[in-house]
Amino acid sequence: MRVTIVLLLTLTATAAFAKELPFYFGADGQYCKMCFKQNYGDNLYNKKSLGLNPFFGINIKDSPFVIEAGYQYCDSSRTSTLTANEYASGVQVPQMLEPITFRSSLKLKGPHVSLLLLTPRYDVYPVQFFGGIGISHTKATFERATMQLNSFIGKTNRKMEASRSLRRLTLGANYFFTEEFCIRATLVLVNTEKLHAFASDGIQSHFIPEVRPQNSVYYGVGLRWGF
């Protein structure tokens, strides 16, 4: 215990704070996990999707804060076959039409901006942690093509859309190879629960398809250059 304290004190005393460059940019590859409420997309849409997040950051002078903005995009698709008593986007599959095969795809995209707090960075210890809150304006598009209905080929394409401003919480770490270049890992939580999407394709029907996602988590790994 004493040794640890002595080591920490020595490190703090001798280490020099690394200089934060005023701007940075980069891109994250992301793995998004978004679940759906039961009967409202859980059996149609892929919970896991891959995406990209290009970003740009501005260090606020003489403070540990950074304003980071970016654009998030991810998509996925899935083929599923549903039978009677199962629900397709909130609508029960009728007995005479079972089994129905759907090809479903989702897209999430939109800009975001966050205020991040950076921990101090030492020359001898090139890891820096950060975290913060922000807002993103996300547009979700859920498409569902009916491939086969009972014994005949389906031809309907339904589209459900929602566009909302969402809260986001970002946590991450940078590992610096040089003063300018680092790799980073991020964990972003977004309240996509608000993206309750209704049919927006103009197709007339008694039952209106709807998709209700739950909150999502984005795991990202990326590269960052400072200048």
Partner 1 sequence: MNDNSLNISELINNQSLAVSEIIDDSLITIKSHLVESLQKTQQELTVLATKSVQTEPVFVPVNTPIEKKDNTSFINPSILTQYDAVTVQKVQSIANNPDSSAKLTNEQKQIIAQFYGI
Binding site residues, partner 1, CB under 8 A: 84, 88-89, 91, 93-97, 100, 146, 149-152, 154, 156, 158-159, 161, 198-209
Q: Which is nearer to partner 1, 80 or 146 (CB)?
A: 146
Q: Phi/psi of residue 86, each to 5°?
A: -95, 165
| Cβ at position 95, least distance to partner 1 in Å | 5
Q: Which is nearer to partner 1, 14 or 81 (CB)?
A: 81
User: Least separation, in Å, of the C-beta of 36 and partner 1?
Assistant: 17
Neighbours of 2 (CB within 10 A): 6
Do 152 and 132 form a contact (C-beta atoms < 8 A)? Answer: no
Between 12 and 156, CB nearer to partner 1: 156
CB 49 → partner 1: shortest distance, Å?
21
Q: State the nearest-atom distance from the C-beta of 104 to partner 1, in Å.
A: 12
Minimum distance from residue 198 beta carbon to partner 1 (Å) = 6
* Closer Cβ to partner 1, 88 or 106, answer by number: 88
Supply the minimum distance, in Å, between the C-beta of residue 135 and partner 1: 21
- Please give the full DSSP string across the chain, using - where no structure is assigned: -HHHHHHHHHHHHHPPBPPPPSEEEEEEEEEEEEEE-TTTTTTTS-SEEEEEEEEEEEEPTTSSEEEEEEEEEEEEEEEEEE-TT-EETTEEPPGGG-SEEEEEEEEEEEEEEEEEEEPP-BSS--EEEEEEEEEEEEEEEEEEEEEEETTEE---EEEEEEEEEEEEEEEEEEEESSSSEEEEEEEEEE-GGG--EEE-S----SSPPEE-EEEEEEEEEEEEEE-
Compare residues 5 and 202 and give the one whose CB is closer to partner 1.
Answer: 202
Nearer to partner 1, 179 or 201 (CB): 201
